[in-house]
Amino acid sequence: MPKTKHSERYRLYMELKAAQKKISDLEMEVTTLRESKLYNDHLLPLDILSNAPYIIHVKDLSGKYIFTNKGFDSLTGLEKGLSIGKTAYDLFPKDLADTFCFNDKEVVSADSHLEFCVVLRVGEKDHAFQLKKFSLRNENGEIYATCGISMEITEYKDAYKAFKLNESRLEALHVLARMTSSTLQELTDFALEEAIKLTESKIGYLAFMDDKEETLTMYSWSKSAMEECQVQQKK
């Protein structure tokens, strides 16, 4: 059976859920390694984390990076080691750096993990990332740093959005099919409002041009169009 867009988007959605689980598993691995004999003098097992297929960083309590892996260096465009000693304000736009620093403080004060999504412009395109942060403790049980593990979810996010859009389209068609006793005007108005919502447009209208292409007759327009034009009632 040939693959459909629906099945492909569902596959991507399921891959996203699996990737999210991998992030949680990786967090558990970091915690386990931190508490094992492989963890000494506040140093993470660099050979493992540096090559992990995720974007990983560690910051001290002053906000300076003390570890970044290959994924993080690739994201920032810096060579290995050049991020060390810098802060988020040196590497990212101020509004994004403000968010990162605020979340660092939240993680430390609450001594828990925090999960959120961020959008970062890379080149000519916006990229979405799912980021998970948690605090790190030394052998004395004191918090000395925060760790962030993230993965890009742009493709999965777009696929999920398209998946939900198709659901909305099917629901609109289902409602339309049940409007058997509605007038033509009511059907047109409903279809137009749904089209506005599904295309994420601001206004919309349905009009017909006469044969001479001289007169445009408005047949239906959206509520938002009426508000924009300050029309009180359709005529």
Per-residue pLDDT of 97-153, as tens digits, reads 898 899 899 889 887 788 877 777 766 777 788 888 999 888 888 899 999 998 887
**Statement to judge: residues 87 and 185 lie in one domain:** no
Is residue 171 domain-resident?
no
Burial of 235 (0-12, 13-18, 19+ CB in 10 A): exposed
Q: Calculate the CA dihedral of residues 11, 12, 14, 19 and round it to 10 degrees.
A: 140
| pLDDT for 168 | 79
Is residue 235 domain-resident?
no
| pLDDT for 42 | 44
Is residue 170 domain-resident?
no
d(CA 35, CA 123) in angstroms, rounded, equals 39
**Statement to judge: residues 215 and 128 lie in one domain:** no
Say whether pLDDT at 192 is over 70. yes
Lowest mean pLDDT among 15-29, 56-70, 105-119, 190-204: 15-29
**Statement to judge: residues 46 and 150 lie in one domain:** yes
| pLDDT for 150 | 87
Is residue 172 domain-resident?
no
| Residue in this structure with the two tokens 């001479």, named with its chain if needed | 212
**Statement to judge: residues 147 and 186 lie in one domain:** no
The residues facing 205 across adjacent strands are: 221
Q: How many CB atoms lie within 10 A of CB 53?
A: 12
Q: What is the pTM of this model?
A: 0.53
Task: State mean pLDDT over 190-217.
Answer: 78
SS3 content of the chain, % helix, strand, coil (to 5): 45, 25, 30
Its domain, for residue 193, covers: 179-228
Task: State mean pLDDT over 49-54.
Answer: 77
Is residue 163 domain-resident?
no
Assess contact for 220 and 188: CB atoms under 8 A. yes
Say whether pLDDT at 83 is over 80. yes
The residues facing 129 across adjacent strands are: 118, 152
pLDDT, mean over the chain: 77
CATH number of domain containing 112: 3.30.450.20
Is residue 206 domain-resident?
yes
Number of domains in the chain: 2
